Structure 1
Amino acid sequence: MKNLPFKFCLAIGLCLTFLSICTTPSSINSFESADRYLSQHLLPSIELDSQLVSDTAAYNVVIPPLADSVPDPNSFPLYGAKPSNDPNIVYVEIYSSAEKANGERQDERWLIDVVEKFNQQRQRLKFGEVIQVGIRNIPSGLGAQILAARKGKPAGYTPATALWLELLKAEGLPLQAIAPALVSNQAIFAIQPQVYQQLAKGGGVTFDRLMDAILADKIQIGYSNPYIGSSALNFLHTLLWRSAGHAQDGKPLTIAELESSQVNSVFSTFQKQIALTTPTYLDLKQIWIRDPQKFQAIVMAYQSYVNLKKQPEFAQLAYIPFGVPENSPLVGFDWNTASEREALEKFAAFATSTPMQQLAQQQGYEKTEYLQRSQFPPLPSGEVLKAAQSFWKQRKDGGHTVYMELIVDTSGSMEQNNRLQAVQKALRFASQQINRGNQIGLVTFSDRPTRRITLAPFNELEQKRLFAAIDQLRPDGETALYDGLAVGLADLMEKQKTDPKGRFYLLLLTDGERTNGLDFGQIKDVIKHSRVRVYPIAYGKVNQQELEAIAAIREGSVYQGTPEKIQVLLKDLFQTNL
């Protein structure tokens, strides 16, 4: 009898040890085990507040008119010359697409190299003024948005493709042609070699054969937001043009055809084969580089494909071209002076000279056989392109409901530099991008997490509820980052049990490191098996390494946010995913 207490205690100790072993993060290897560990071991340790907005409070919210917002062009990098007050210098600034004006990469800086060589020559106008050129690196779609809003007035604009010029014409912006093409490029599908070999069986590999394979559920692909990316917009138009039957008759796509059952059926089937859509092509490429097996094919530009093939794991990539050329036209505007126009013409002549075109070839630009054949779809009008973008936005979810949890830092540091105010303004504006029926929730965190909006189908009342919740946010306290993340994951994982075909995203915005609550090690395996794609936004001095690790777990990217750029960033993320 004296030994019973000892045996009893020993048995209890062994049981507790066994339970501890079985419920450590290392034992998480499935959605079910992640859900069980989250609900039984992490959530009970979290002190969760609730400040939900009632229906009555939401009904009383008045949503003011929300003007469109575009980024400040001066927030983008400027290369080459800078503006000058010297009367003997004529300075011209050109907005350039990113793939040829990225000073951070040797294989994406062709136009910067050109402008540096041009500026060194100090060419003169007919009255003796020296020409100096600056290149502003702005993605084509964002450049078009800035110009359409009249927020920037550069001397020139050179997007990757003329499609953006058609959109600007539709916005009533007069353009002055300077050069139809600065450099040769095209849109393509980059394809894994084994997939290309399968397509090649029984005949040549064509864009039509690729599309038939995608529609037959044999290939899953990735592409980016057609409101921003040139190749994405090019592909969207080509897909709709082909769906309307114009690959046979060569006629242009019309707005009326976007409402046809044939076009809608093809597009709906296609969207079901999308593995991932990202705001920009660079996001997509980085995910593919991290995991070469993630996609069987992605939409990109030929020049980027040439440089991607230099990496050993992509050396055997194949490609299939499509769409209209992406040959970087250069245009001026009606606000230009005669001197600025002459300066642009001289710069275009220099950029298209033989030495500069040889430099372009070294960076992957080439006049391919596809470009030489000149058998392209007809250039669509801007009105058709605008309708195509709206068509994509409304139907991109492919019949699936999208669920997104917003996990927002409201710790005391968010008071600095009006960080929280900028986020509040950005969330109000970005709410316009949420498709009706998709679901959005809001959890904030400081000392502890607070649930403010539960996931529910988005409509006018839910938008008002979101506005009311946003108005309540105040910066205070520490940073229980992973407590907030755990609550958001739990909500999304619960939804998956009733809608396994839904699409699940979590947007995590923080301006600092975790200071209390759960740590990364406790939750990383839950993230891995949650089936939730996490988008971290670094909004200040954060633990970049941990945010990169979070993004890598679920094949995402870390987005860099500032109070000046957060509105555009959230708009792009909501536009792409919601």
Structure 2
Amino acid sequence: MKKSKFLKGVLSAVLALSLTACSNNVTNNTTLNNALSYDDAVTELGTFYRKINPSTVPARLDVDMAEASVADSLADIDTFDMMLTGNGSLNLEIAAPSEFSGKSYPDEWLVAVGQKFNKAGYTVNGKSVSVSIRKISSGETLTYITEGGYQPDLYIPSNEMWGEMLVANGIKANKLTDRIAGNTAGILMSKEVYDSYTEKYGEVTMDGVLKAAIAGDMVFAYTNPYTSATGMNILCSMLHAFDNENPLSDNAVDQLVQYQNNAPTAAYTTSILKESASKGIIDAMVMEEQTYINTPELKNYVYTPAGVRHDHPVYAFPWTDEDELEAAKMFVDFCLTSDSQSMATERGFNLHEDYVSEDYGMTGSDFLSAQKVWKTNKNGTRPTIAVFVTDISGSMNGTRIKSLKNSLLSTMQYIDSSSYIGLVSYSDKVYINLPIAQFDNKQRAYFSGAVKDLDVGGQTATYDAVLVGMQMLMEKSKEVPDANMMLFVLSDGAQNAGFELKRITPIVGGLGISVYTIGYEMTDSDKEDLKALSEINEAVCIDADTEDIVNELRNLFNVNM
């Protein structure tokens, strides 16, 4: 069952994101049928590059480059949907994760309970009471509260780790209950892999899974620990398995680095793992039990609880006044009624009631440190080489080019200094604005200057620019072997100059380099080409408007760079 190096590269691309995709189809292998061999693709790429003959633009050192803050990379909180809006005199805003704040059954339990609560006629001191529910991940809520000044009335993360991290960040939080809907996180394996695993390693444990993954007996995938409660939970379980006396010891970190050398890139959320698993792309992953139970495509997978429980504790804050606090307690009690709990059980919650949380021996500060350890070491010893390919054609004029510049400048803080970064721009011609170099402070200042100097005009030779970016990656990889190579294309849509997509597809497929495409204010027809480009090597196309692109890039870079 050992996976090839190529497959692991594909998995890294597939698992890297679960953003707002341009299509519900994550993969499409049909485009690889005409792929050239690697050697032929390299040869043809060189020929095309010489025909394109890009111009090099002298980069300007941005000596006035301002240090961006985390707050600069946060979009307006309203980019996260309000799934229920109350109209009471006392209306409580609740920040809640996706597993029970969705639009439809079975992922709308909290919304359904909230609707009943709002109709029940509760009052406090003569004032009507209601709740509003915002769908936002546990990790994003933590970031928005600590860095963006967001002040929900109630915070319901998936597990208690996030509440402890909130307190460690200096935010006072009053836990109203340990649980409103029981759930567990765990390890999911295909039946075939489960049978072979148990025969060789015995019961499913994190320690055993890591040994199996390192031995090549499975490819184990997990989610981004900065946003996903399941990913954060399993990361700490991994560190604890590496060193159960001190999960943050040098020994644990060294083992994490070695593991990450051959591990898939973390997925942005659980949903991408679910879709990848249903397509048979991966054979072992993390997932919450409620999601697993409600995914028929995973009926041939075996679930084993792991880590800490996901029982959805409820937190209130100092900015909540006495009347609001009383209303909050009313809502918590309403969630815990037998009727509400029956609704939860029907939707796949409240299973594995006998499962006891793993004790990591870690504090909220330790959890925050674990995130930083992961961020620094997520690529193991392999550096990342990336080229940003930016559309400066005439159609990008106005809000699109402004959004592109602002989003890159405000999120480049998430690109690690060990990465190697270059910048290409294109209209009907292609320009190398910044040759690839290590992203130290000087290269960062050059990158800032190059982005600020981008100017629009002309037609759209997208695929010429893609080939130029790939040639730059291939040349740099000779100096930096065994690196993760990535291309990011930022555009508003379809090509109308230079080579067509069908002409470059065999080259891109043969090289195996993943192309992440990010579209600005695209029409439906514009999305097709960008989606097809990303699908060549099973990456993802992000359909991002000017409001949420900074969030998309922030999380993208946290996972990949």
TM-score (norm 2): 0.88
- Taking structure 1 as reference, are residues 359 and 166 closer, same or farther at Cα in structure 2, changes over 3 Å only? same
Q: Distance in 1 between matches of 2:249 and 2:82?
A: 42
Match for residue 66 of structure 1? 68
Query: 2:106 aligns to what SS in structure 1?
Result: helix
Unaligned runs of 5+ in 2: 1-31
For residue 44 of structure 2, what is the aligned residue in structure 1?
37
Q: Which residue of 2 aligns with 1:435?
A: 416
Per-residue CA distance 1:216-244 (angstroms, 9 max, x = gap):
33222222221111111111111112222
Equivalenced residues, count: 525
Partner Cα distance (2:65, 2:545) in 1: 25
Which residue, 179, 182, 185 being the options, matches 1:181?
Answer: 179
How far does residue 170 in structure 1 lie from its aligned partner after superposition? Answer: 1.0
Residue 554 of structure 2 corresponds to: 571
Show the 5 A alignment for 1:99-498.
Answer: 99-103=99-103, 105-125=104-124, 127-201=125-199, 203-246=202-245, 253=246, 258-260=248-250, 262-289=251-278, 291-292=279-280, 294-308=281-295, 310-311=296-297, 314-368=298-352, 371-378=353-360, 380-417=362-399, 419-496=400-477
Partner amino acid for 1:50? Answer: T
Following superposition of structure 1 onto structure 2, how do residues 2-41 of structure 1 map, counting pairs within 5 Å? 28-40=35-47
Structure 1: distance between partners of 2:317 and 2:285: 35
Partner of 1:258: helix, strand, or coil? coil
Q: Residue 163 of structure 2 aligns to which amino acid in structure 1?
A: L
Larger Rg: 1
Per-residue CA distance 1:133-157 (angstroms, 9 max, x = gap): 1100111111111111252111111
CA distance in 2, matches of 1:525, 1:303: 41
Give the root-mean-square deviation of aligned CA atoms.
2.2
Per-residue Cα deviation, 1:377-420 (whole angstroms, up to 9, x for no partner): 14632211111111111111110111111111122222232x22
- Counterpart of 2:91 in structure 1 is 91
Structure 1, residues 297-353: CA drift from partner, whole Å, max 9, x if none? 112212112223x02xx3210123211111111111111122211221111112222
Q: Do 1:324 and 1:379's aligned partners in 2 also have CA atoms closer than 8 Å? A: no
Q: Partner residue of 1:516?
A: 497
Q: Residues 532-551 of structure 1 correspond to what in structure 2 (within 5 A)?
A: 532-542=513-523, 543-551=526-534
Q: Which position in structure 2 is the counterpart of 1:21?
A: none
The alpha-carbon deviation at position 168 of structure 1 amounts to: 0.8
Question: Match for 1:101: what amino acid?
Answer: S
Matches of 1:403 and 1:194 in 2, distance apart?
A: 36
Identity of aligned residues (%): 25
The answer to whether the 8 Å contact 1:192/1:317 transfers is yes
The 2-side partners of 1:285 and 1:403 are apart by 28
Q: Which one is further off, 374-383 or 509-518?
A: 374-383
Alpha-carbon distance change, 539 to 366 in structure 1, aligned in 2, over 3 angstroms: same
CA deviations over 1:548-569 (Å, ceiling 9, x no partner): 3233332222222222222222
The structural deviation recorded for 1:458 is 1.8
CA contact (8 A) 1:163 1:380 kept: no
Higher RCO by CA contacts (8 Å cutoff, separation 6 or greater): 2
Which range moves more in the overlay, 343-352 or 62-71? Answer: 62-71
1:229-265, Cα deviation, whole Å (9 max, x unpaired): 111111111111222224xxxxxx4xxx6242x2123
Which deviations, in whole Å up to 9, do the C-alpha atoms of 1:101-120 show, x marking residues without a partner? 122x5332221122122222
Distance 1:500 1:33 in 2: 20
Unaligned runs of 5+ in 1: 1-24, 247-252
* Inter-partner Cα distance in structure 1 for 2:156 and 2:443: 41
Change (3 A) 1:26 1:283: closer
1:554 matched to 2:537? yes
* Residue of structure 1 equivalent to 2:55: 49
**CA distance, structure 1, for counterparts of residue 38 and residue 151 of structure 2:** 52
Query: Against the structure 1 CA distance between its residues 205 and 388, is the aligned structure 2 distance closer, same or farther, given a 3 Å change threshold?
Result: closer
